[in-house]
Amino acid sequence: MDHHTHSTAAPRELQMARSMCWHCQSEVAGEYFCDRCVKVQPVSKEVDYFTCMSLPRRLTIDQRQLETKFYELSRAFHPDFYQNKSTAEQTISLGNSALLNTAYRTLRDPIERAEYLIGLEAGSVKEIRNSPPADLFEEILELQDTLNEYRATDCTSETKSTVLAKLQAERELLEQRQRDMEAALQQLFIQWDRLQDRAEATDQARAERSRILKQMRENLSNRTYVKNIVSDLASTIG
Amino acid sequence: MVRIVGIDLGTTNSLVAYMADGHPHIVPGRNERTMVPSVVAMTDNGLIVGDPAREHLTRSPERTVYSVKRFMGKGLEDVQSELAYFPYQLTEQGGVIRIKLGEKTYSPPQISAMILKELKQRAEAHLGESITRAVITVPAYFNDSQRQATKDAGMIAGLDVLRIINEPTAASLAYGLQRKTQGTITVYDLGGGTFDISILKLKNGIFEVLATNGDTHLGGDDFDRQIADLFVREILEQQGLDLTAYPDHMQAVRLEAERTKIRLSDELKITATLDLPEGKGRYSRELTRDQLESLTRKLIERTLEPCRLALKDAALTSNDIDEVVLVGGSTRMPLVRQLVQALFGKEPHCELNPDEVVALGAAVQADILSGGTTDLLLLDVTPLSLGIETMGGVMSSLIRRNTTIPASAKEMFTTYVDGQTGVDIHILQGERELVKDNRSLARFRLKVPPLPAGVPRIEVTFLIDANGILNVSARDVRTGDTQSLAVKPSYGLKDDEVERMIGESYKFAADDLKARQLIEARTEADAILMATEKALKQGAHLVGEEDLSSIRTTITAVEAAKSGEDHKAIRAKMADLEKATHHLAEVLMDNSLKEALENKKLSEFSDV
Highest mean pLDDT, choosing among B271-285, B287-301, B341-355, B462-476:
B287-301
Mean pLDDT (chain A) is: 81
Inform me whether the pLDDT recorded for A148 exceeds 90.
no
pLDDT-derived band at A104, boundaries 50, 70, 90: very high
CA–CA gap between residue B553 and residue B548 (Å, rounded): 9
Q: Which of B296, B311, B295, B314 is nearest to B343 (CA)?
A: B311
What SS3 class is residue B382? strand
End-to-end CA separation in angstroms for chain B: 73
Closest chain A CA to residue B406:
A98
Residues of A in contact with B374 (CB under 8 A): 81
Inform me whether the pLDDT recorded for B604 exceeds 60.
no
Contact: A94, B162; criterion CB under 8 Å: no
Inform me whether the pLDDT recorded for A68 exceeds 50.
yes
Inform me whether the pLDDT recorded for A3 exceeds 70.
no
Contact: A102, B162; criterion CB under 8 Å: no
The confidence score (pLDDT) of residue A7 equals 36
Contacts 24+ apart (CB under 8 A), A175-180: A175/A230, A177/A136, A177/A226, A178/A223, A178/A226, A178/A227, A178/A230
A101 reaches B (C-beta below 8 A): yes
A180-196 pLDDT, tens digit per residue, is 999 999 999 999 999 88
Indicate which residues of B carry an active-site annotation: 8, 69, 167, 189
The confidence score (pLDDT) of residue B435 equals 87
Q: Which of B116, B113, B88, B109 is nearest to B16 (CA)?
A: B116
The single-letter code of the amino acid at B58 is T
CA–CA gap between residue B552 and residue B563 (Å, rounded): 17
Inform me whether the pLDDT recorded for B199 exceeds 50.
yes
Q: Is residue A139 part of a domain?
A: yes
Q: A203: burial class by Cβ within 10 Å (0-12, 13-18, 19+)?
A: exposed
Inform me whether the pLDDT recorded for B606 exceeds 80.
no
B516-528 pLDDT, tens digit per residue, is 677 667 777 887 8
Residues 6+ apart with CB under 8 A from A21: A27, A28, A34, A36, A37, A39, A41
The confidence score (pLDDT) of residue A125 equals 54
A98 reaches B (C-beta below 8 A): yes
- The CA angle A108-A113-A116, to the nearest 5 degrees, is 140
Q: How far is B485 from chain A (nearest CA, A)?
A: 18
How many CB pairs below 8 Å do chains A and B form together?
53
Contact: A79, B466; criterion CB under 8 Å: yes
% residues pLDDT > 90 (chain A): 29
% residues pLDDT > 90 (chain B): 54
Inform me whether the pLDDT recorded for B514 exceeds 90.
no
Q: Is residue A147 part of a domain?
A: yes
pLDDT-derived band at A30, boundaries 50, 70, 90: low
Could you give phi then psi for residue B487, rounded to 5 degrees? -85, 125
Of the listed ranges A84-88, A198-202, B74-78, B322-326, the least confidently predicted one is A198-202
Inform me whether the pLDDT recorded for A19 exceeds 70.
no
Contact B172, B187 (CB under 8 A): yes
Residues of B in contact with A94 (CB under 8 A): 406, 463, 465-466
Q: Is the dihedral of CA B226, B227, B229, B233 positive or negative?
A: positive
Contact: A78, B466; criterion CB under 8 Å: yes
Q: B585: burial class by Cβ within 10 Å (0-12, 13-18, 19+)?
A: middle
B411-455 pLDDT, tens digit per residue, is 998 888 898 888 889 999 988 888 888 889 888 888 888 899 888
- CB-nearest to B407 from A78, A84, A101 is A101
Mean pLDDT (chain B) is: 89
Contact: A74, B466; criterion CB under 8 Å: no
H or E stretch at B260: helix B247-263
Inform me whether the pLDDT recorded for A22 exceeds 90.
no
Domains and CATH numbers, chain B: 4-218+302-379 (3.30.420.40), 220-299 (3.90.640.10), 384-493 (2.60.34.10), 497-602 (1.20.1270.10)
Residues of A in contact with B210 (CB under 8 A): none
H or E stretch at B163: strand B160-166
Q: What is the mean pLDDT of residues B28-50?
A: 86
Q: Which of B415, B443, B416 is nearest to B428 (CA)?
A: B443
3-state SS string over B82-127?
HHHHCCCEEEEECCEEEEEECCEEECHHHHHHHHHHHHHHHHHHHH
Q: How far is B397 from chain A (nearest CA, A)?
A: 15
Q: Which of B77, B73, B76 is nearest to B100 (CA)?
A: B76
Q: What is the mean pLDDT of residues B472-495?
A: 82
Separate counts of helices (H) and strands (E) for chain B: 14, 30
The confidence score (pLDDT) of residue A126 equals 55
Q: Which of B148, B139, B165 is nearest to B489 (CA)?
A: B148
Of the listed ranges A11-15, A145-149, B46-50, B464-468, the least confidently predicted one is A11-15
Q: How far is B3 from chain A (nearest CA, A)?
A: 12
Contact: A101, B403; criterion CB under 8 Å: yes
Residues of B in contact with A83 (CB under 8 A): 162, 369-371
Q: Is residue A99 part of a domain?
A: no
Tallying the residues shown for chain B, one arrives at 608
- CB-nearest to B379 from A74, A84, A94 is A74
Contact B79, B205 (CB under 8 A): no
Q: Is residue A220 part of a domain?
A: yes
pLDDT-derived band at A12, boundaries 50, 70, 90: very low
Of the listed ranges A119-123, B19-23, B198-202, B437-441, the least confidently predicted one is A119-123
Q: Which of A41, A99, A48 is nearest to A70 (CA)?
A: A99
Contact: A94, B378; criterion CB under 8 Å: no
pLDDT-derived band at A6, boundaries 50, 70, 90: very low
Inform me whether the pLDDT recorded for A145 exceeds 90.
no
- CB-nearest to B377 from A80, A83, A95 is A80
What SS3 class is residue A92? helix
Inform me whether the pLDDT recorded for A63 exceeds 70.
yes
More confident residue, A126 or B69: B69
B247-277 pLDDT, tens digit per residue, is 899 999 999 999 999 999 999 999 999 999 9
Residues of B in contact with A97 (CB under 8 A): 406, 466
Q: What is the DSSP letter of B434?
A: B
Q: Is residue A125 part of a domain?
A: no
Residues of B in contact with A80 (CB under 8 A): 163, 365, 368-369, 377-378, 466
Q: What is the mean pLDDT of residues B229-242?
A: 93
Highest mean pLDDT, choosing among A16-20, A34-38, B135-139, B452-456:
B135-139
A126 reaches B (C-beta below 8 A): no
Closest chain B CA to residue A104:
B404
A214 reaches B (C-beta below 8 A): no
* Domain with A174 in it: 134-237
Residue of A83, A94, A106, A107 to mutate, testing the B interface (most B Cβ within 10 Å of its Cβ): A83
Q: Is residue A184 part of a domain?
A: yes
Number of domain units in chain A: 2
Inform me whether the pLDDT recorded for B513 exceeds 80.
no
- CB-nearest to B406 from A75, A97, A105 is A97
A78 reaches B (C-beta below 8 A): yes
Secondary structure (DSSP) of B495-563: HHHHHHHHHHHHHHHHHHHHHHHHHHHHHHHHHHHHHHHHHHHHHGGGS-HHHHHHHHHHHHHHHHHHH
Q: What is the mean pLDDT of residues B344-364?
A: 92
Q: What is the mean pLDDT of residues A79-92?
A: 91
Residues of B in contact with A105 (CB under 8 A): 403-404
Q: Is residue A106 part of a domain?
A: no
Secondary structure (DSSP) of A123-181: S---PPP-S--GGGHHHHHHHHHHHHHHHHS-TTSHHHHHHHHHHHHHHHHHHHHHHHH
pLDDT-derived band at A14, boundaries 50, 70, 90: very low
What SS3 class is residue A229? helix
Inform me whether the pLDDT recorded for B476 exceeds 80.
yes
Contact B116, B159 (CB under 8 A): yes
A79 reaches B (C-beta below 8 A): yes
Q: Is residue A79 part of a domain?
A: no
